[in-house]
Amino acid sequence: MDLSYTAQEDEFRARLREWLGKVLPTLPVKPSPDDWPGRRAYDLGWQRMLYDAGYADVHWDASPTTRLIFLEETEKAGAPYVGANFVGLLHAGPTIAAEGTPEQRERWLPPVLRGDEVWCQGFSEPDAGSDLAALRTRAWRDGDDYVVTGSKIWTSHAEVADWCELLVRTDADAPKHRGISWLAMPMSAAGITVRPLRTLAGSAEFAEVFLDEVRVPVGNRVGDENDGWRVTMVTLSFERGTAFVGEVVACRRVLGELAVEARRNGRWDDPVLRRQLGRLNAEFRALWRLTQWNVSEAEASGGVPGVGGSVFKLRYSHARQELYDAAADVLGPDSLDLERAWVLDRLSSLSYTIAAGTSQIQQNIVAERILGLPKGR
């Protein structure tokens, strides 16, 4: 068990820190949450800077430890989040890298790395959420195209995306997991209607996407026809693996700020609150260690994260909600004022136990795939 880094890794960290110190002050002002074109431009601009400096492919090509260092340092320095690049960099990109043909990799990966193109994820449907394999959006073959009709929902960044990683049903008669294919759909195609949905936090973070006879070239299919479920599992394992590294670092910073604020406003004298903050310190320290443990494990096993990601996600999503509940205790009545720091974060923390597989589904996964308990109701 070794928590120290190699000389090479330390050097990577030092170089990155130096670069961040140089470029972060030159960034433009962050656009407001409702300014979608502005957000797209800002997020892509940041990705372009990473590309020019040689850090663009850290999510794919670097070792898990290097990736960990990258995510840790960028977060500590206050660098922008992946934002609109999330699906391209952490989801569709890794999937295409693992499952795509050489031509597909050549077509789609460089624009993601360069910060030219944004992807969104069209998996969930009104009647297929937790039961994703029940999806009904249909795709028929017509010559060299698929013709796609159906609807998707909760599609984050749909309004500003160039591409959508789309799950469609290509065989309606096969068992539900065996009739699904994975397509890259250009968002500019005819027949796509995007209707933004407002979240409880007030901004339009995701959308409904209606598909009416949208033509997608057969060459845009990644993986074999009807093999999309397996391809999807590759994608989901990435999402549940290292996706939260930066956030754990951020939560630890917020926790320190909460303590300072509590001391300032007198709430620190309440031993119940103080000890709750102490427990959260234990919690996020442990989540950081668990991240290091999982990264070391991935390193040893060749890179692909395993079901251990479900264990992490279950605990982390809950801890994040507890953190912002503690923030509300520190703020007192101000916790009801949307202008105050942490209040919007508290609202958005509510999505963590739902998005990317609800906590109930994650518990099923842990119980069935790790503990070997019987499947069932």
Q: Is 253 in the site for another protein (CB under 8 A)?
A: yes
Which residue in the set 129, 196, 303, 306 belongs to the binding site for ligand FAD (CB under 6 A)? 129
Q: Is 275 in the site for another protein (CB under 8 A)?
A: yes
Contact 182, 228 (CB under 8 A): yes
The DSSP secondary-structure symbol of 171 reads -
Which residue in the set 63, 104, 335, 358 belongs to the binding site for ligand FAD (CB under 6 A)? 358
Q: Catalytic site residue 257?
A: no
Q: Is 83 in the site for ligand FAD (CB under 6 A)?
A: no
Give, in degrees to the nearest 5, the angle at Cα 370 between 366 and 374. Answer: 80
Q: Is 8 in the site for ligand FAD (CB under 6 A)?
A: no
Number of other CB atoms surrounding residue 187 within 10 Å: 20
Which residue in the set 76, 107, 178, 215 belongs to the binding site for another protein (CB under 8 A)? 76
Kindly indicate which of the ranges 93-101, 132-140, 200-208, 364-372 contains the residues binding another protein, using the contact rule CB under 8 A. 364-372
Q: Is 123 in the site for ligand FAD (CB under 6 A)?
A: yes
Residues 6 or more apart from 297 whose CB is under 8 A from it? Answer: 306, 308
Q: Toward another protein, which CB reaches closer, 37 or 278?
A: 278
Contact 70, 56 (CB under 8 A): no
Q: Toward ligand FAD, which CB reaches closer, 218 or 361?
A: 361
Residues 6 or more apart from 263 whose CB is under 8 A from it? Answer: none
Q: What are 346's two structure tokens? A: 């508290």
Instruction: List residues bridging with 128 in a β-sheet.
Output: 125
Q: Is 151 in the site for ligand FAD (CB under 6 A)?
A: no
Task: Residue 83: name its binding partner from another protein, ligand FAD, none (Cβ under 5 to 8 Å by kind).
Answer: none
The DSSP secondary-structure symbol of 62 reads S
Q: Spot the catalytic one: 159, 165, 239, 283.
A: 239
Q: Is the dihedral of CA 159, 338, 287, 264 positive or negative?
A: positive
Residues lying near ligand FAD in the complex (CB under 6 A): 121-124, 129-130, 154-156, 206, 351, 354-358, 360-361, 364
Catalytic residues: 239
